Amino acid sequence: MKPHIISAEALAPLVVKEDRQSSKSGTLTYIPGSTLLGAMAATYCRSFGGPADAKFRDLFIENPVCFPDLLPSQELGAETKPLPLSVVSCKREPGFRKEGRHGVRDTLALTAVARVTGKPANQSAWNCDHDGCKNEVKTFEGVWNGDCTDPHSAATSELYRRHTGIDRLTRTVAQGIFYTTQSVNNFVRKSDGQPVNQIFCGQTRLSPSQAAVLNEIFGRPVFVGAGRTRGFGEIRLSLKEVDEPAIDVNAWDRKFRDHALVDLPNGLYFSVTLRSHAILVDYFLRNVADIDLQIDGAEEVARVLKAVAIKGWNWAWGMAKPEELGVARGSVFLFRYRGGGQEELARRLARVSAEGIGLRRQEGFGSVSVCDPLHVCKEVL
Ligand SMILES: [Zn+2]
């Protein structure tokens, strides 16, 4: 199994509903893994065969591919990540300094210090330090390229269309019926003003045979989301193999201690940051907000998290999927390891990073990044 990035170029505006109610006009601004999984299965069945085929079973049943959420990106085949919920930026001018805003920084170390020492963090740390701005900082949510040396954000633009109702008898505009629909624009303007297709990317792991089948499917027209009969939702997909991410817990721990500015108690610190929503359950399958890494000697020190209701529709069943209470993408857990087996820890963390956590991972849930470099980046980006 090798890591691959799946890229989607929007060829038409996209409408991806957040929940089952078709009366709501909003759209998600990314392509969820569950939507991608459904589109792949539907395209396969339309163009190549059916669920009894060996290829179908290889992709979806026996060793199912975890179809990732495809998040907005500026480039094909480029890594793209949600910003952790521990990241803050100025209330007035939020964003990266490179993009002319007041800067983005991570507060996980501050939160950890406050938790470990029992004292609240220095208040001045919660103000913007850009050129005497001094405004408060707030959680800064969004998607970025994951590169601390050259950070930039990635977002979509939305299209709004206004509609009036038509009276059935008179065939003229019906009084009092006016509504708007929202979709993700299939074009974005680059900095030089040129329009290019909106791109979405996500990372997964594939065997060579799975990559070959996906490449076959990617050669066909693929549609995602709602409004497909009205010309919405066409995407062009591509696949790129990338390198295995390296996790160096010792180096991350050193930088984290350096970043915290106070002496943290002994142990090896590491973080687990959610790249997608996660559905975590306990022994009785009740939704919980705790990660069980099954590593002896690892304890949770701090967490920054948000809950999210996860809904969905299973087209094959013609029924709603069970509603779950999940942990939102960007949530961060900080752990301290005080066991003796560092090699075992490294092995276990590499596995968590590769396989993810929680339920419904084939639909993109529970994807994580271990020891994210943003948490130990000292500079304001
Ligand atoms: Zn500011």
Dist. CA 372 → ligand 1 center (Å): 25
Which of 241, 263, 286 finishes a domain?
Answer: 241
Quick one: pLDDT band at residue 280, thresholds 50, 70, 90?
very high
Ligand 1 is an ion; its neighbours by CB within 5 Å are 90, 102, 128, 130, 133, 135
Say whether both 189 and 130 belong to one domain: no
Dist. CA 92 → ligand 1 center (Å): 6
Q: Calculate the average pLDDT of the chain.
A: 89
Reported pTM: 0.90
In a domain, 322, yes or no: yes
Quick one: pLDDT band at residue 20, thresholds 50, 70, 90?
low
Dist. CA 252 → ligand 1 center (Å): 29
Tell me the pLDDT tens digit for each residue of 94-120: 999 988 889 999 989 888 888 888 877
CATH number, position 208: 3.30.70
Distances (CA, A) of 31 to 28, 69, 216: 7, 6, 20
Amino acid at 173: V
Quick one: pLDDT band at residue 200, thresholds 50, 70, 90?
very high
The SS3 of residue 188 is strand
CA dihedral 111, 117, 122, 128 (to 10 degrees): -10
Q: Which long-range contacts (CB under 8 A, 24 or more apart) does 50-57 make?
A: 55/213
Say whether both 257 and 333 belong to one domain: yes
Q: Where are the alpha helices (DSSP H) in the chain?
A: 33-47, 54-56, 108-117, 208-218, 249-260, 342-355
Q: Give yes or no for a contact between 104 and 95, defined as CB atoms under 8 angstroms apart.
A: yes
Separation between Cα atoms, residue 194 and residue 347, nearest integer Å: 46
Say whether both 191 and 297 belong to one domain: no
Q: Give yes or no for a contact between 328 and 277, defined as CB atoms under 8 angstroms apart.
A: yes
Tokens at 94, concatenated: 């939020």
* 273: containing domain: 249-376
Dist. CA 84 → ligand 1 center (Å): 20
Tokens at 190, concatenated: 């680059």
In a domain, 348, yes or no: yes
Say whether both 255 and 340 belong to one domain: yes
pLDDT of 212 higher than 90:
yes
Tell me the pLDDT tens digit for each residue of 143-188: 999 888 999 888 888 888 888 888 888 989 988 888 888 889 898 8
Say whether both 358 and 276 belong to one domain: yes
Dist. CA 162 → ligand 1 center (Å): 36
- Residues ≥6 apart with Cβ < 8 Å to 245: 3, 353, 369
Say whether both 90 and 65 belong to one domain: no
Dist. CA 126 → ligand 1 center (Å): 11
Dist. CA 140 → ligand 1 center (Å): 13
Quick one: pLDDT band at residue 24, thresholds 50, 70, 90?
low
In a domain, 162, yes or no: no
Separation between Cα atoms, residue 373 and residue 120, nearest integer Å: 24
pLDDT of 353 higher than 80:
yes
Q: Give yes or no for a contact between 213 and 58, defined as CB atoms under 8 angstroms apart.
A: yes
Tell me the pLDDT tens digit for each residue of 306-348: 999 988 777 778 888 888 899 999 999 999 999 888 888 999 9
Phi then psi dihedrals of residue 167, to 5 deg: -70, 130
Dist. CA 125 → ligand 1 center (Å): 13
In a domain, 220, yes or no: yes
pLDDT of 215 higher than 80:
yes
State percent of the chain over pLDDT 90: 48
Number of domains in the chain: 3
- Residues ≥6 apart with Cβ < 8 Å to 177: 164, 165
Longest dimension (CA), the chain: 80
